[in-house]
Structure 1
Protein backbone atom coordinates (compact mmCIF):
# COMPACT_ATOMS: atom_id res chain seq x y z
CA UNK A 1 0.00 0.00 0.00
CA UNK A 2 2.76 2.44 0.95
CA UNK A 3 4.56 1.62 -2.31
CA UNK A 4 1.40 2.47 -4.30
CA UNK A 5 1.07 5.81 -2.51
CA UNK A 6 4.75 6.54 -3.21
CA UNK A 7 4.12 5.88 -6.93
CA UNK A 8 1.22 8.36 -6.82
CA UNK A 9 3.31 11.09 -5.15
CA UNK A 10 5.42 11.69 -8.27
CA UNK A 11 2.24 12.91 -10.02
CA UNK A 12 1.10 15.27 -7.23
CA UNK A 13 2.82 18.35 -8.65
CA UNK A 14 1.31 17.73 -12.09
CA UNK A 15 -2.15 17.31 -10.60
CA UNK A 16 -1.85 20.61 -8.72
CA UNK A 17 -0.35 22.48 -11.69
CA UNK A 18 -2.96 21.21 -14.16
CA UNK A 19 -5.85 21.72 -11.73
CA UNK A 20 -4.89 25.38 -11.39
CA UNK A 21 -3.49 26.06 -14.87
CA UNK A 22 -6.37 24.68 -16.93
CA UNK A 23 -9.07 26.95 -15.43
CA UNK A 24 -6.71 29.97 -15.44
CA UNK A 25 -5.68 29.45 -19.07
CA UNK A 26 -9.30 28.94 -20.13
CA UNK A 27 -10.34 32.11 -18.27
CA UNK A 28 -7.46 34.07 -19.82
CA UNK A 29 -8.27 32.82 -23.32
CA UNK A 30 -11.85 34.06 -22.91
CA UNK A 31 -10.34 37.55 -22.97
CA UNK A 32 -8.57 36.87 -26.27
CA UNK A 33 -10.64 37.55 -29.36
CA UNK A 34 -9.49 36.28 -32.73
CA UNK A 35 -11.06 37.84 -35.79
CA UNK A 36 -11.72 34.59 -37.61
CA UNK A 37 -14.73 32.59 -38.55
CA UNK A 38 -14.45 28.91 -37.85
CA UNK A 39 -15.60 26.64 -40.66
CA UNK A 40 -18.10 24.84 -38.44
CA UNK A 41 -20.70 25.81 -35.90
CA UNK A 42 -19.08 24.44 -32.74
CA UNK A 43 -21.73 24.54 -29.98
CA UNK A 44 -23.79 21.58 -31.26
CA UNK A 45 -20.56 19.67 -31.87
CA UNK A 46 -19.17 20.17 -28.39
CA UNK A 47 -22.62 19.57 -26.87
CA UNK A 48 -22.63 16.24 -28.72
CA UNK A 49 -19.17 15.51 -27.33
CA UNK A 50 -20.58 16.14 -23.84
CA UNK A 51 -23.45 13.75 -24.55
CA UNK A 52 -21.06 11.11 -25.87
CA UNK A 53 -18.82 11.61 -22.81
CA UNK A 54 -21.80 10.96 -20.54
CA UNK A 55 -22.59 7.79 -22.48
CA UNK A 56 -18.95 6.66 -22.29
CA UNK A 57 -18.85 7.31 -18.52
CA UNK A 58 -22.01 5.28 -17.92
CA UNK A 59 -20.71 2.47 -20.16
CA UNK A 60 -17.35 2.52 -18.33
CA UNK A 61 -19.20 2.21 -15.02
CA UNK A 62 -21.15 -0.74 -16.40
CA UNK A 63 -17.89 -2.30 -17.63
CA UNK A 64 -16.16 -2.12 -14.25
CA UNK A 65 -19.22 -3.40 -12.39
CA UNK A 66 -19.15 -6.37 -14.78
CA UNK A 67 -15.41 -6.89 -14.21
CA UNK A 68 -14.40 -5.87 -17.73
CA UNK A 69 -11.30 -3.96 -16.62
CA UNK A 70 -9.70 -3.57 -20.06
CA UNK A 71 -12.90 -2.19 -21.55
CA UNK A 72 -13.27 0.14 -18.54
CA UNK A 73 -9.69 1.38 -19.00
CA UNK A 74 -10.18 2.08 -22.71
CA UNK A 75 -13.50 3.83 -22.10
CA UNK A 76 -12.01 6.03 -19.40
CA UNK A 77 -9.15 7.01 -21.70
CA UNK A 78 -11.76 7.86 -24.33
CA UNK A 79 -13.71 9.95 -21.79
CA UNK A 80 -10.58 11.94 -20.96
CA UNK A 81 -9.83 12.42 -24.67
CA UNK A 82 -13.39 13.59 -25.30
CA UNK A 83 -13.17 16.04 -22.41
CA UNK A 84 -9.95 17.51 -23.81
CA UNK A 85 -11.54 17.76 -27.28
CA UNK A 86 -14.55 19.50 -25.76
CA UNK A 87 -12.36 21.99 -23.93
CA UNK A 88 -10.33 22.83 -27.05
CA UNK A 89 -13.50 23.41 -29.13
CA UNK A 90 -15.19 25.35 -26.34
CA UNK A 91 -12.24 27.72 -25.99
CA UNK A 92 -11.87 28.06 -29.79
CA UNK A 93 -15.55 28.98 -30.07
CA UNK A 94 -15.35 31.60 -27.35
CA UNK A 95 -12.16 33.08 -28.81
CA UNK A 96 -13.80 33.56 -32.21
CA UNK A 97 -17.43 34.30 -31.31
CA UNK A 98 -19.32 36.61 -29.03
CA UNK A 99 -21.02 34.97 -26.08
CA UNK A 100 -24.69 34.19 -26.61
CA UNK A 101 -27.06 35.80 -24.14
CA UNK A 102 -29.82 33.65 -22.71
CA UNK A 103 -33.17 35.05 -23.84
CA UNK A 104 -35.60 32.99 -21.81
CA UNK A 105 -37.80 34.43 -19.12
CA UNK A 106 -39.54 33.41 -15.93
CA UNK A 107 -38.84 30.19 -14.05
CA UNK A 108 -36.87 28.61 -16.93
CA UNK A 109 -34.39 31.50 -16.81
CA UNK A 110 -33.59 30.70 -13.17
CA UNK A 111 -33.31 26.99 -13.93
CA UNK A 112 -30.91 27.80 -16.79
CA UNK A 113 -28.66 29.94 -14.61
CA UNK A 114 -28.62 27.42 -11.75
CA UNK A 115 -27.61 24.66 -14.16
CA UNK A 116 -25.07 26.90 -15.93
CA UNK A 117 -23.42 28.09 -12.71
CA UNK A 118 -23.26 24.62 -11.17
CA UNK A 119 -21.95 23.26 -14.48
CA UNK A 120 -19.14 25.83 -14.54
CA UNK A 121 -18.21 25.34 -10.87
CA UNK A 122 -18.27 21.55 -11.16
CA UNK A 123 -16.29 21.60 -14.43
CA UNK A 124 -13.45 23.29 -12.55
CA UNK A 125 -13.84 21.17 -9.42
CA UNK A 126 -13.82 17.86 -11.32
CA UNK A 127 -10.36 18.43 -12.85
CA UNK A 128 -8.29 17.34 -9.83
CA UNK A 129 -10.72 14.48 -9.14
CA UNK A 130 -10.30 13.10 -12.67
CA UNK A 131 -6.53 13.48 -12.50
CA UNK A 132 -6.21 11.84 -9.07
CA UNK A 133 -8.56 9.02 -10.08
CA UNK A 134 -6.57 8.42 -13.26
CA UNK A 135 -3.22 8.46 -11.43
CA UNK A 136 -4.48 5.95 -8.88
CA UNK A 137 -5.50 3.66 -11.74
CA UNK A 138 -2.24 3.92 -13.69
CA UNK A 139 -0.23 3.32 -10.50
CA UNK A 140 -2.38 0.22 -9.81
CA UNK A 141 -3.64 1.57 -6.51
CA UNK A 142 -7.11 0.21 -7.19
CA UNK A 143 -8.49 0.41 -3.65
CA UNK A 144 -7.76 4.14 -3.45
CA UNK A 145 -8.87 4.49 -7.10
CA UNK A 146 -12.29 3.02 -6.25
CA UNK A 147 -12.71 5.34 -3.27
CA UNK A 148 -12.19 8.53 -5.25
CA UNK A 149 -13.94 7.21 -8.36
CA UNK A 150 -17.13 7.09 -6.29
CA UNK A 151 -16.88 10.88 -6.05
CA UNK A 152 -15.39 11.56 -9.49
CA UNK A 153 -17.97 9.60 -11.49
CA UNK A 154 -21.10 11.54 -10.42
CA UNK A 155 -19.29 14.89 -10.63
CA UNK A 156 -17.98 14.19 -14.13
CA UNK A 157 -21.31 12.77 -15.25
CA UNK A 158 -23.08 15.88 -13.94
CA UNK A 159 -20.69 18.13 -15.89
CA UNK A 160 -21.25 16.16 -19.10
CA UNK A 161 -25.06 16.00 -18.78
CA UNK A 162 -25.50 19.57 -17.55
CA UNK A 163 -23.39 20.79 -20.51
CA UNK A 164 -25.91 19.22 -22.86
CA UNK A 165 -28.83 20.74 -20.94
CA UNK A 166 -27.21 24.20 -21.01
CA UNK A 167 -26.76 23.87 -24.77
CA UNK A 168 -30.38 22.78 -25.30
CA UNK A 169 -31.66 25.69 -23.22
CA UNK A 170 -29.53 28.34 -24.95
CA UNK A 171 -29.64 26.94 -28.50
CA UNK A 172 -32.72 28.95 -29.57
CA UNK A 173 -30.74 32.16 -28.92
CA UNK A 174 -27.69 31.45 -31.11
Structure 2
Protein backbone atom coordinates (compact mmCIF):
# COMPACT_ATOMS: atom_id res chain seq x y z
CA UNK A 1 0.00 0.00 0.00
CA UNK A 2 1.32 3.43 -0.95
CA UNK A 3 2.31 5.75 1.92
CA UNK A 4 -0.20 8.40 0.86
CA UNK A 5 -2.99 5.79 1.01
CA UNK A 6 -1.76 4.59 4.41
CA UNK A 7 -1.83 8.19 5.67
CA UNK A 8 -5.45 8.58 4.52
CA UNK A 9 -6.38 5.70 6.80
CA UNK A 10 -3.90 6.13 9.68
CA UNK A 11 -4.14 9.88 10.26
CA UNK A 12 -7.95 10.00 10.77
CA UNK A 13 -7.72 6.84 12.91
CA UNK A 14 -5.02 8.42 15.11
CA UNK A 15 -7.04 11.63 15.44
CA UNK A 16 -10.19 9.66 16.32
CA UNK A 17 -8.38 7.60 18.97
CA UNK A 18 -6.77 10.77 20.33
CA UNK A 19 -10.21 12.21 20.97
CA UNK A 20 -12.09 9.05 22.00
CA UNK A 21 -9.55 7.75 24.55
CA UNK A 22 -9.39 10.86 26.81
CA UNK A 23 -13.15 11.43 26.54
CA UNK A 24 -13.83 7.79 27.49
CA UNK A 25 -11.53 8.03 30.51
CA UNK A 26 -13.21 11.30 31.55
CA UNK A 27 -16.67 9.73 31.29
CA UNK A 28 -15.57 6.70 33.29
CA UNK A 29 -14.21 8.92 36.06
CA UNK A 30 -17.73 10.23 36.67
CA UNK A 31 -19.73 7.01 36.44
CA UNK A 32 -22.59 7.12 38.94
CA UNK A 33 -22.09 3.42 39.73
CA UNK A 34 -19.05 1.11 39.65
CA UNK A 35 -18.97 -2.44 38.31
CA UNK A 36 -16.13 -4.37 39.90
CA UNK A 37 -15.68 -6.80 37.03
CA UNK A 38 -12.78 -8.76 38.52
CA UNK A 39 -13.55 -8.28 42.20
CA UNK A 40 -10.24 -6.44 42.65
CA UNK A 41 -9.55 -4.37 45.75
CA UNK A 42 -9.05 -0.65 45.17
CA UNK A 43 -5.29 -0.82 45.91
CA UNK A 44 -4.59 -3.56 43.37
CA UNK A 45 -4.85 -1.45 40.24
CA UNK A 46 -2.72 1.50 41.42
CA UNK A 47 0.23 -0.76 42.28
CA UNK A 48 -0.05 -2.49 38.91
CA UNK A 49 -0.26 0.90 37.16
CA UNK A 50 2.80 2.19 39.02
CA UNK A 51 4.80 -0.89 37.98
CA UNK A 52 3.72 -0.44 34.36
CA UNK A 53 4.53 3.28 34.44
CA UNK A 54 7.95 2.67 36.01
CA UNK A 55 8.71 -0.08 33.49
CA UNK A 56 7.60 2.19 30.66
CA UNK A 57 9.96 4.92 31.88
CA UNK A 58 12.87 2.46 31.93
CA UNK A 59 12.01 1.20 28.44
CA UNK A 60 11.79 4.77 27.13
CA UNK A 61 15.20 5.61 28.55
CA UNK A 62 16.69 2.43 27.07
CA UNK A 63 15.07 3.18 23.70
CA UNK A 64 16.48 6.71 23.80
CA UNK A 65 19.92 5.35 24.65
CA UNK A 66 19.88 2.93 21.72
CA UNK A 67 18.73 5.68 19.38
CA UNK A 68 21.63 7.89 20.55
CA UNK A 69 24.21 5.17 19.85
CA UNK A 70 22.67 4.36 16.47
CA UNK A 71 21.26 0.92 17.30
CA UNK A 72 17.92 1.59 15.63
CA UNK A 73 16.70 -1.99 15.77
CA UNK A 74 16.97 -2.05 19.57
CA UNK A 75 15.58 1.48 19.73
CA UNK A 76 12.51 0.35 17.78
CA UNK A 77 12.06 -2.77 19.92
CA UNK A 78 12.28 -0.88 23.21
CA UNK A 79 9.89 1.81 22.00
CA UNK A 80 7.38 -0.74 20.71
CA UNK A 81 7.55 -2.53 24.06
CA UNK A 82 6.97 0.80 25.86
CA UNK A 83 3.99 1.39 23.59
CA UNK A 84 2.57 -2.06 24.34
CA UNK A 85 2.98 -1.50 28.08
CA UNK A 86 1.25 1.86 27.75
CA UNK A 87 -1.64 0.19 25.91
CA UNK A 88 -1.88 -2.43 28.69
CA UNK A 89 -1.87 0.41 31.20
CA UNK A 90 -4.68 2.19 29.36
CA UNK A 91 -6.90 -0.90 29.25
CA UNK A 92 -6.20 -1.61 32.93
CA UNK A 93 -6.84 2.01 33.86
CA UNK A 94 -10.21 1.97 32.10
CA UNK A 95 -11.11 -1.27 33.92
CA UNK A 96 -10.03 0.27 37.25
CA UNK A 97 -12.23 3.32 36.66
CA UNK A 98 -15.21 1.08 35.93
CA UNK A 99 -14.43 -1.10 38.97
CA UNK A 100 -13.50 1.22 41.83
CA UNK A 101 -14.55 4.58 43.22
CA UNK A 102 -11.86 7.28 43.09
CA UNK A 103 -9.73 7.49 46.23
CA UNK A 104 -9.36 11.07 47.53
CA UNK A 105 -5.96 12.45 48.42
CA UNK A 106 -5.64 12.96 52.17
CA UNK A 107 -2.36 14.84 52.42
CA UNK A 108 -2.07 18.31 53.90
CA UNK A 109 0.18 21.34 53.72
CA UNK A 110 2.74 21.92 50.99
CA UNK A 111 2.72 18.23 50.03
CA UNK A 112 -0.91 18.67 48.97
CA UNK A 113 0.06 21.44 46.52
CA UNK A 114 2.93 19.35 45.16
CA UNK A 115 0.63 16.35 44.74
CA UNK A 116 -2.02 18.32 42.86
CA UNK A 117 0.58 20.01 40.64
CA UNK A 118 2.00 16.60 39.72
CA UNK A 119 -1.47 15.10 39.27
CA UNK A 120 -2.85 17.91 37.11
CA UNK A 121 0.20 18.07 34.84
CA UNK A 122 0.15 14.26 34.63
CA UNK A 123 -3.52 14.22 33.58
CA UNK A 124 -3.20 17.04 31.03
CA UNK A 125 -0.07 15.57 29.47
CA UNK A 126 -1.63 12.07 29.48
CA UNK A 127 -4.28 13.36 27.09
CA UNK A 128 -1.72 15.16 24.94
CA UNK A 129 0.59 12.14 24.77
CA UNK A 130 -1.96 9.90 23.04
CA UNK A 131 -1.73 11.54 19.59
CA UNK A 132 1.98 12.25 20.00
CA UNK A 133 2.81 8.59 20.69
CA UNK A 134 0.51 7.32 17.94
CA UNK A 135 1.94 9.71 15.33
CA UNK A 136 5.52 9.08 16.45
CA UNK A 137 5.07 5.31 16.28
CA UNK A 138 3.30 5.53 12.93
CA UNK A 139 5.97 7.76 11.38
CA UNK A 140 8.79 5.55 12.64
CA UNK A 141 7.20 2.26 11.60
CA UNK A 142 6.35 3.55 8.12
CA UNK A 143 9.91 4.75 7.53
CA UNK A 144 9.08 8.46 7.65
CA UNK A 145 12.18 9.08 9.73
CA UNK A 146 12.45 12.87 9.35
CA UNK A 147 8.84 13.34 10.49
CA UNK A 148 9.45 10.73 13.19
CA UNK A 149 12.47 12.65 14.52
CA UNK A 150 10.61 15.97 14.55
CA UNK A 151 7.67 14.67 16.57
CA UNK A 152 9.77 12.36 18.77
CA UNK A 153 11.60 15.42 20.15
CA UNK A 154 8.29 16.38 21.77
CA UNK A 155 6.93 12.91 22.41
CA UNK A 156 9.85 11.47 24.33
CA UNK A 157 10.10 14.01 27.19
CA UNK A 158 6.33 14.25 27.59
CA UNK A 159 5.87 10.47 27.56
CA UNK A 160 8.72 10.05 30.05
CA UNK A 161 7.21 12.75 32.29
CA UNK A 162 3.80 11.03 32.21
CA UNK A 163 5.37 7.66 33.05
CA UNK A 164 7.47 9.03 35.93
CA UNK A 165 4.68 11.19 37.39
CA UNK A 166 2.38 8.15 37.23
CA UNK A 167 4.73 6.49 39.69
CA UNK A 168 4.96 9.64 41.83
CA UNK A 169 1.17 9.91 42.02
CA UNK A 170 1.06 6.31 43.25
CA UNK A 171 3.75 6.97 45.87
CA UNK A 172 1.97 10.08 47.13
CA UNK A 173 -1.40 8.27 47.19
CA UNK A 174 -0.07 5.06 48.77
CA UNK A 175 -1.18 5.87 52.34
CA UNK A 176 -4.77 6.39 51.16
CA UNK A 177 -5.37 3.16 49.22
Could you say which residue in structure 1 is the equivalent of 2:10?
A: 11
Question: Is the Cα–Cα contact under 8 Å of residues 8 and 139 in structure 1 kept in the other structure?
Answer: no
Matches within 5 A, 1:2-151: 7-30=6-29, 31=31, 33-36=34-37, 37-38=39-40, 41-151=44-154
Question: Is the Cα–Cα contact under 8 Å of residues 8 and 136 in structure 1 kept in the other structure?
Answer: no
CA distance 1:5–1:161, shift in 2 (3 Å)? farther
Among candidates 134, 151, 169, match of residue 172 of structure 2:
169
Could you say which residue in structure 1 is the equivalent of 2:160?
A: 157
Question: Is the Cα–Cα contact under 8 Å of residues 50 and 161 in structure 1 kept in the other structure?
Answer: yes
Instruction: Give the TM-score, by structure 2 length.
Output: 0.90
CA distance 1:104–1:6, shift in 2 (3 Å)? same
CA distance in 1, matches of 2:160, 2:12: 26
Question: Is the Cα–Cα contact under 8 Å of residues 43 and 167 in structure 1 kept in the other structure?
Answer: yes
Q: CA RMSD in A?
A: 1.7
The unaligned stretches of length 5 or more in structure 2 are none
The unaligned stretches of length 5 or more in structure 1 are none
1:29 deviates by 2.6
